[in-house]
Amino acid sequence: MTEKELFIGIWQVPPATKENYKMLVACGINAIFLNGEYSTELEEQKKAVAYSEKYGISVVLEGRNKIDGSVLFENPLKDSKAVVAFNLFDEPNYCDVEPLTALALKMKKAYPNKKAYINLYPSYVPCDEIMHDYPRYMETFAKWVYDIDGEGGWLSMDHYPLRRTKEDEFYLFDDWFTDMETTAKVAKKYGLKPHFFIQSMAFGGTISWWNDRTPTEEDMRLQIYAYLAHGAKGFSHFCYQSPKSNEFFERQSGMFDKGAPTERWFYAQKIHKELKPFEKELVSCSWEKCLRVDSTVEDENGLFHRQNENAFEEFTTMQSVETTARCLVGAFKGTDGKESFMLVNVEDTSREKEVVVTLTLKKPTSFKIYKNGEGSVESFVGAATITLGVGEGIFMIEE
């Protein structure tokens, strides 16, 4: 993985064989969190790191939730050129700040060129301190990342939005949108790189109405483009290898199960390929904002709004946006001053609903529009009208 690429990772690695790691590359994976039941033994880890070195895969070495650092500092693989970061803690709380700081400072002194990685809770965690003031929680740990790694550190959060009710009705969790926005804004404030996890499997243990919904290709695409519209510089799939844990059922397989790819492996491969033509431009852009737009003045939860004429006052190309249904509009600026936008249909995919987006322009503008993995230049005067399919996203760059 290079600085001009998105971090595309996996949680739960497969058994460390040449064939399995070639499959990672074939899927478009360029990073792994070296965790899961198939990486508990040092010999397995050695093989995984060796294959990662061979195939150019970045490794986040596991040391999760071992505050004394024993797992990391005793691991002989820590000096590998493939290891780019140490996974210090998954979902910390406020009480973990002090011991985490001591561990991270010890780590940075020994390995100044490796990142200190932590992943944060979503707002729906059953903890009043976090639930009732999620921005404070995110800000606390963003400052922690900045103090340890400076600008360019990773700010990571996992929130799995695909929901199913007891009556088998599908929907997207509303708090997902605000959690994304909070992460993106705080990351921008501290100059950090947002990273998110993709719900790439159904899960939820025995509680059938809590997340136990198998993602379709459209579900996976919607999540990935939504995160990119919020300035994500990386994302990882949860889970790649099917976990062995008893809480997971047959229907809750990962992207790779029983030594073979599941249908979601092929979905991910297809979406990753779609990103390649504009990946370099997207990674180099500065994220400015993301608008949640709908056809109504304001939806019942106050999340999506019909935008006014001042929605893009700091931009020279775009004036305003109107849509026929729920849509995200991520706005970016390049180092060359050119403006770009990412449009995402975020109607729940079960509704099979297209979204028509009308962009009113301040001046005649040509954009290179990337859709379904292909780019074409189109010129617009006055307005641009774009139709987004189910779960679809597009990226448009000012020419």
Tens digit of pLDDT for each residue in 71-106? 677 788 989 999 999 999 999 999 999 999 999 998
Q: What is the length of the chain?
A: 399
Average pLDDT over residues 328-354: 97
The Cα–Cα gap between 13 and 51 comes to 12
Q: Looking only at Cα atoms, what is the longest distance across the chain? A: 63
294 plus 168 within the same structural domain: no
Contact present, 105 and 69 (Cβ < 8 Å): no
Q: What does the block give as tokens for 358?
A: 């009308």
For 101-110, how does the pLDDT look when each residue is reduced to its tens digit (9 = 90+)? 999 998 898 8
Mean pLDDT, residues 237-244: 88
Residue 15 covered by a domain: yes
pLDDT, position 243: 77
Domain identity same for 77 and 210: yes
Angle at 73 (CA atoms; ends 70, 79), nearest 5 degrees: 155
User: Which of 254, 284, 314 delimits the end of a domain?
Assistant: 284
Q: Please check whether residues 384 and 279 belong to one and the same domain.
A: no
pLDDT tier, 333 (very low <50, low <70, confident <90, very high otherwise): very high
Sign of torsion over alpha carbons 281, 215, 357, 304: negative
- C-alpha pair distances (Å), 17 with each of 49, 266, 397: 11, 20, 40
pLDDT of 184 above 80? yes
Q: Which pLDDT band holds residue 209 (cuts at 50, 70, 90)?
A: very low
Q: Which domain range does residue 355 map to?
A: 286-398
Which residues does 26 contact at the CB level (< 8 Å), separation at least 6?
269
Encoding tokens for residue 284? 């180099």
Q: Give the pLDDT of residue 301.
A: 66
Residue 299 falls inside a structural domain: yes
227: pLDDT confidence band, cut at 50, 70 and 90?
very high
User: Does one domain contain both 291 and 186?
Assistant: no
Instruction: Kindly report the number of other CB atoms within 10 A of residue 99's CB atom.
Output: 14
pLDDT at 65 over 90: no
CATH of the domain at 364: 2.60.40
In terms of domains, do 94 and 225 share one? yes
d(CA 378, CA 216): 31
